[in-house]
């Protein structure tokens, strides 16, 4: 079985096992939280995390909103069902028009019809509400990792900006993510075009290596928030506001 986000059950289970500790996820949570805190003056009423997977990030987002709801299609089949997670599709969200203050689409757009998902995010957002998207960057990095994750595309900066604008959003801020490790990531992805072994090594680093890489990524996030955007990275994270 493949889910709406193109995730096979084994990939879903893998994400559940590493999302709390893997160097890539750990630092990115800090970056997303920091960017949303800049976009809102106080906790909003309702934030939804579309494609939340096992829902392990929801606890972090509770500092940003009075109510946090995760949306995913695998809720009932993984035993992660709770009052905080609802079954839903990225292009058919279980919310009324203009009902939501913040929509998160983290690692979602590359799996789905992105134009449809962005239109649906626009529909449920209140005027002036914020959308946060995270997507894999640079089409030239396409390889075994993308194929294994059932990606449909990687994004150029121009493509991401065009998609957001066409869906009725104006970009508030855009941050590349994982610049300091980008040379290593690029080599891993290029080797991954030939064999999935490099992908697997990146997915499951040894504990000591994971700790070092986490420190590097968290230092980068600190720089990005305190100094300014990094020149490039393996991902793009954008905060965009719905046009009133």
What's the confidence (pLDDT) of residue 185? 84
**Which domains are assigned to the chain?**
9-242 (3.40.50.150)
Span 146-187, pLDDT tens digits: 887 889 999 999 999 999 999 999 999 999 999 999 998 888
What's the confidence (pLDDT) of residue 205? 80
What's the confidence (pLDDT) of residue 2? 33
Q: How far is CA 131 from CA 4, 124, 134, 217, in A?
A: 20, 11, 10, 23
pLDDT at 76 over 60: no
Span 22-52, pLDDT tens digits: 899 999 999 999 999 999 999 999 999 999 9
What's the confidence (pLDDT) of residue 79? 44
pLDDT at 62 over 70: yes
Please tell me the distance from the alpha carbon of residue 148 to that of residue 183, in angstroms, as a whole number: 21
Sign of the CA dihedral running 225, 227, 228, 234 = negative
């Amino acid at each position: 079985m493949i889910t709406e986000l193109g995730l096979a059950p084994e990939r879903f289970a893998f994400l559940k096992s590493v999302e709390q500790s893997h160097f890539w996820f750990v630092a990115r949570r800090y970056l997303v939280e920091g960017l949303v805190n800049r976009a809102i003056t106080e906790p909003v009423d309702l934030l939804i995390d579309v494609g939340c997977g096992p829902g392990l990030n929801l606890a972090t987002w509770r500092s940003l909103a009075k109510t946090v709801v995760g949306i995913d299609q695998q809720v009932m089949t993984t035993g992660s069902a709770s009052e905080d997670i609802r079954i839903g599709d990225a292009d058919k969200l279980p919310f009324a028009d203009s009902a939501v203050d913040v929509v998160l689409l983290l690692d979602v757009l590359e799996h789905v019809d992105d134009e449809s998902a962005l239109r649906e995010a626009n529909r449920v957002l209140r005027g002036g509400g914020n959308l946060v998207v995270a997507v894999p960057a640079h089409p030239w990095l396409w390889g075994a990792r993308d194929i294994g994750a059932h990606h449909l595309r990687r994004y150029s900066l121009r493509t991401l900006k065009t998609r957001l604008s066409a869906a009725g959003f104006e970009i508030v801020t855009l941050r590349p993510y994982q610049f300091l490790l980008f040379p290593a990531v690029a080599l891993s992805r290029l080797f991954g075009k030939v064999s999935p072994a490099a992908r697997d090594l990146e997915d499951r680093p040894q504990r000591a290596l994971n700790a070092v890489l986490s420190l590097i990524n968290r230092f980068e996030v600190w720089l990005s928030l305190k100094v300014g955007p990094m020149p490039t990275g393996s991902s793009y994270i954008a905060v965009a506001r719905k046009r009133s």
